[in-house]
């Protein structure tokens, strides 16, 4: 054998033992690990069963405590009311309409205060003389309930309790009854009926099911309506006769209800005072599903371990093979390195040229961006100038009007009235400073938090600012505002600014119409809690183009002398900044309808926010 072929022969001989993984070892290890799945399943089943049982026991305990509390709340009520003179008077003078009416009023008042379902008074013959539902269509007055066991027991002088379905109302209830006495004489029976329907909904939509059975084993309360009034065991002849006599259920033959222990985990608790048994049924799927998940995880872990061992054995073999290939790879690498070096030299030259071109393009991009930024600044400056001109136009007009009026008042010697006009001019100048401050904050995209602002006073301020224009146009103002103050989340200046713009637009639209001119203003809370303010006029309304483009800056249907087309755009922007919305539409009876929906705020003093300060 040549000397240069010796290492290859030796290496070939050494790789033979690792040509394939040791599958026999892996199979034995798999069988060993698989035997651990049974105890894992057993422990997981016991753990989740105990966990479900503990949760069910807590839920059952809470439900039983709530049910007992509901019953005990009304248990003493018949004994307390039995001593009321008005009820005794009604029993002794059943033919006296005034006495019976007084008893009806008393029972109705006590029912509202106590929360009972019905309270009614029967004479010794079982005839109902007075009831808390005397004014309803299904009143108990005039009905005889002598067949009920609670009546017979109470008439015999014993406190009585009974669960059953009302023969008049068709509603389930628990009855507490006691005798009304005058000394040793039994004048009648007072009954309090308690509605237990709400107790069935305490579990919500949980997978556990609630079950309450009476002494006969019939389901009376359950979270599954199809189980209601079904027997959980075989009824005896005496029990069937008792059901037929007392009529506690809608049927005299309760159908059987078979609940398999293979499907449910049951826990029960006895209510000794009523003879009921409260049970909670947890589906076994609550245990089986997590156990299946645990077993899936365990099996996946076992498979992962086996795969890891197989990979380790395979990698060991590959490592030995790679050592044999490294020598040949080094020779090939040296040759390829020489070839790539030449390619890299050429590539470097090409990259230098591309880098130079990219730097030139980057400089051109920076210059273009500077031009775009400068154009944006000029556009923003133009928009802000137009906004200030639009927002200050109304206060300036009012100042000019007040100043002219002040001169006339001084000529007539009405100094106090002139002083009042000057005070209004001072307020308007403060408002102009506040508007300018707000516009500066708006340009900075200031994120001040809204405050509680009263809607009606802000609306009155806006109307006062436009009072002269309204009088000049002879606009009839129709208000539909609640007496209680509506508080919204806004800023004082923001809200007045929005309301002033909307009212000014309405008056401008009405100026294009011959009298009569009307403006309807209404406000009301919406179902979602927001406050809605509606402005409707009987002007020409919006055109289709105006509805589509009304929120665009500089879009207007007015002449340039009457508007810049920024009013609705500013209102829409401010409204969205406050979390509200501005809706534009035409009213079915003609004219424009503008709706302003704002978020509600807690009742408070609408103090001026920092951004509204001059």
Task: Mark 573-589 as b/e (b = at least 16 C-beta within 10 Å).
Answer: bbbebbebebebebeee
pTM value?
Answer: 0.44
**Percent of the chain whose pLDDT exceeds 90:** 5
218 and 181 inside one domain:
no
pLDDT in the model for residue 609: 41
At which of 195, 225, 254 does a domain end? Answer: 195
166 and 207 inside one domain:
no
- Inter-residue contact 554 to 389 (CB < 8 Å): no
Q: Please indicate whether residue 421 or residue 493 has the higher confidence score (pLDDT).
A: 421
Phi, psi angles (nearest 5°) of residue 42: -60, -45
229 and 172 inside one domain:
no
CATH of the domain at 139: 3.30.450.20
Q: What CA–CA distance (Å, rounded) separates 86 from 105?
A: 10
186 and 206 inside one domain:
no
Give per-residue pLDDT as tens, 31-75: 777 777 788 877 878 888 888 888 878 888 888 888 888 888 888
Q: What CA–CA distance (Å, rounded) separates 39 from 41?
A: 5
**Mean pLDDT of the region 572-595:** 83
Q: What CA–CA distance (Å, rounded) separates 438 from 611?
A: 6
Secondary structure (DSSP) of 428-451: HHHHHHHHHHHHHHHHTT--PPPE
- Inter-residue contact 421 to 458 (CB < 8 Å): no
Count other Cβ atoms within 10 Å, centred on residue 106.
20
Between 47-56, 234-243, 285-294, 364-373, the lowest mean confidence (pLDDT) is in 364-373
pLDDT band at 299 (very low <50, low <70, confident <90, very high): confident
Q: Is the pLDDT of residue 376 over 50?
A: no
Strands (E), 217-263: 219-222
Q: Is the pLDDT of residue 14 over 60?
A: no
pLDDT band at 368 (very low <50, low <70, confident <90, very high): low
For residue 122, give both structure tokens: 């029967």
**Mean pLDDT of the region 427-445:** 63
Specify the residue for token string 């995209």.
445
Query: Is 498 part of any domain?
Result: yes
Query: Is 129 part of any domain?
Result: yes
**Mean pLDDT of the region 73-82:** 86
Q: How far is CA 319 from the centre of its chain?
A: 62
pLDDT in the model for residue 38: 81
The tally of domains found in the chain comes to: 3
Cα separations in angstroms, 126 against 141, 150, 151, 434: 11, 11, 7, 78
Secondary structure (DSSP) of 391-435: HHHHHHHHHHHHHHHHHHHHHTT-HHHHHHHHHHHHHHHHHHHHH
Q: What CA–CA distance (Å, rounded) separates 419 from 402?
A: 10
User: For residue 477, what is the enclosing H or E element?
Assistant: strand 475-480
Query: Is 36 part of any domain?
Result: no
264 and 224 inside one domain:
yes
- Residue of 399, 423, 421 lying closest to 408 (CA atoms): 421
Strands (E), 117-159: 118-122, 128-131
Phi, psi angles (nearest 5°) of residue 82: -65, -20
Indicate the average pLDDT of the chain. 79
249 and 100 inside one domain:
no
Q: What CA–CA distance (Å, rounded) separates 317 from 14?
A: 10
146 and 215 inside one domain:
no
At which of 173, 195, 217 does a domain end? Answer: 195
pLDDT in the model for residue 191: 93
454 and 583 inside one domain:
yes
Question: What is the extent of the structural domain holding 462?
Answer: 448-612
586 forms bridges with which residues in the sheet? 592
216 and 260 inside one domain:
yes
CATH of the domain at 581: 3.30.565.10
Query: Is 221 part of any domain?
Result: yes
- Residue of 257, 253, 255 lying closest to 281 (CA atoms): 257
**Mean pLDDT of the region 271-276:** 83
Query: Is 89 part of any domain?
Result: yes
- With vertex at residue 306, the alpha carbon angle to CA 303 and CA 307, rounded to the nearest 5 degrees, is 85
Q: Is the pLDDT of residue 21 over 90?
A: no
- Inter-residue contact 257 to 211 (CB < 8 Å): no
Query: Is 9 part of any domain?
Result: no
Query: Is 327 part of any domain?
Result: no
pLDDT in the model for residue 1: 44
**Which range has highest mean pLDDT (27-36, 123-132, 380-389)?**
123-132
- Inter-residue contact 535 to 589 (CB < 8 Å): no
551 and 518 inside one domain:
yes
Query: Is 313 part of any domain?
Result: no
pLDDT in the model for residue 178: 92
Strands (E), 493-564: 517-525, 531-537
Crossing angle of helices 85-92 and 97-114, rounded to 10°: 140
At which of 227, 260, 285 does a domain end? Answer: 285
Q: Is the pLDDT of residue 471 over 80?
A: yes
172 and 242 inside one domain:
no
pLDDT in the model for residue 124: 92
Give per-residue pLDDT as tens, 301-333: 877 887 887 788 778 778 888 888 888 888 888
Cα separations in angstroms, 89 against 85, 140, 189, 575: 6, 19, 13, 66
3-state SS, residue 184: coil
For residue 23, give both structure tokens: 């599958």
pLDDT band at 11 (very low <50, low <70, confident <90, very high): very low
Provide CB contacts within 8 A for 341, sequence distance 6+.
Answer: none
Cα separations in angstroms, 199 against 76, 267, 326: 20, 18, 79
User: For residue 375, what is the enclosing H or E element?
Assistant: helix 285-411
184 and 252 inside one domain:
no
Q: How far is CA 43 from the centre of its chain?
A: 41
Cα separations in angstroms, 480 against 57, 365, 437, 500, 522: 57, 59, 33, 18, 4
pLDDT in the model for residue 384: 47
């Amino acid at each position: 054998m040549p000397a240069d072929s010796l290492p290859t022969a030796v290496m070939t001989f050494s790789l033979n033992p690792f040509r394939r993984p040791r599958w026999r070892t892996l199979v034995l290890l798999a069988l060993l690990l698989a035997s651990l799945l049974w105890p894992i399943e057993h422990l997981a089943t016991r753990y989740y069963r105990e966990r479900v049982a503990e949760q069910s026991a807590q839920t059952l305990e809470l439900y039983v405590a709530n049910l007992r509390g509901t019953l005990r709340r009304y248990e003493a009520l018949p004994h307390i009311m039995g001593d009321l003179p008005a009820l005794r008077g009604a029993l002794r003078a059943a033919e006296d309409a005034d006495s019976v009416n007084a008893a009806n009023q008393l029972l109705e008042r006590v029912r509202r205060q106590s929360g009972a379902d019905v309270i009614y008074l029967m004479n010794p013959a079982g005839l109902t003389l007075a009831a808390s539902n005397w004014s309803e269509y299904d009143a108990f007055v005039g009905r005889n309930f002598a067949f009920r066991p609670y009546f017979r027991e109470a008439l015999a002088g014993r406190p009585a309790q009974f669960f059953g379905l009302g023969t008049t109302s068709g509603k389930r209830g628990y009855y507490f009854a006691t005798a009304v006495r005058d000394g040793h004489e039994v004048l009648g029976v007072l009954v309090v009926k308690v509605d237990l329907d709400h107790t069935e909904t305490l579990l919500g939509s949980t997978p556990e099911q609630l079950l309450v059975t009476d002494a006969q084993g019939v389901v009376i309360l359950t979270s599954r309506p199809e189980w209601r009034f079904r027997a959980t065991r075989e009824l005896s002849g005496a029990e069937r006769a008792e059901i037929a006599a007392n009529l506690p259920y809608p049927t005299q033959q309760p159908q059987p209800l078979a609940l398999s222990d293979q499907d449910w985990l049951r826990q029960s608790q006895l209510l000794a005072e009523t003879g009921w048994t409260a049970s909670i049924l947890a589906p076994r799927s609550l245990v089986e599903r997590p156990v299946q998940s645990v077993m899936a995880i365990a099996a996946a872990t076992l498979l992962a371990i086996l795969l890891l061992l197989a990979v380790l054995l395979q990698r060991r073999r590959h490592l030995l093979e790679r050592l044999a290939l490294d020598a040949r790879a080094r020779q090939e690498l040296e040759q390829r390195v020489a070839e790539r070096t030449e390619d890299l030299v050429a590539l470097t030259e090409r990259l230098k040229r591309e880098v130079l071109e990219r730097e030139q393009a980057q400089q051109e991009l920076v210059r273009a961006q500077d031009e775009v930024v400068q154009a944006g600044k000029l556009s923003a400056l133009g928009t802000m100038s137009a906004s200030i001109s639009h927002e200050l136009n109304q206060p300036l007009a009012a100042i000019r009007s007040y100043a002219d009026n002040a001169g006339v008042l001084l000529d007539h010697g009405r100094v106090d009235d002139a002083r009042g006009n000057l005070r209004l001019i001072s307020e308007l100048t403060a408002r102009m400073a506040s508007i300018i401050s707000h516009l500066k904050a708006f340009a900075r995209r200031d994120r001040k938090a809204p405050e509680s602002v009263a809607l009606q006073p802000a609306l009155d301020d806006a109307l006062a600012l436009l009072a002269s224009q309204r009088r000049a146009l002879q606009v009839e103002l129709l208000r539909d505002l609640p007496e209680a103050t509506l508080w919204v989340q806004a800023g004082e200046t923001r809200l007045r600014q929005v309301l002033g713009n909307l009212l000014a637009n309405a008056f401008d639209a009405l100026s294009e119409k011959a009298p009569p001119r009307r403006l309807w203003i209404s406000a009301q809370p919406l179902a979602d809690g927001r406050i809605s303010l509606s402005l409707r006029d009987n002007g020409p309304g919006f055109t289709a183009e105006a509805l589509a483009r009304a929120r665009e800056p500089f879009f207007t249907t007015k002449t340039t002398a009457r508007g810049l087309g920024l009013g609705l755009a500013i209102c829409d922007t401010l409204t969205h900044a406050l979390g509200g919305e501005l809706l534009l539409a035409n009213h079915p009876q003609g004219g424009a309808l503008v709706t302003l929906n704002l978020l509600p705020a807690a009742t408070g003093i609408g103090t001026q926010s920092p951004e509204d300060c001059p």
